Amino acid sequence: MIDFHVHVYPPEIIKNAEKISSREPYFNALTHNKVHRWATVDELLSTMTENGVTLCDFRLCVSGFRIVPDLQ
Residue-wise pLDDT tens for the chain (72 aa)?
A: 555 677 888 898 899 999 999 998 988 998 999 988 889 989 988 988 898 877 655 566 666 666 656 654
- pLDDT of 69 reads 60
Distance from C-alpha of 39 to C-alpha of 59, rounded to nearest angstrom: 19
pTM to 2 decimal places: 0.66
Distance from C-alpha of 23 to C-alpha of 70, rounded to nearest angstrom: 11
- pLDDT of 53 reads 78
- pLDDT of 22 reads 92
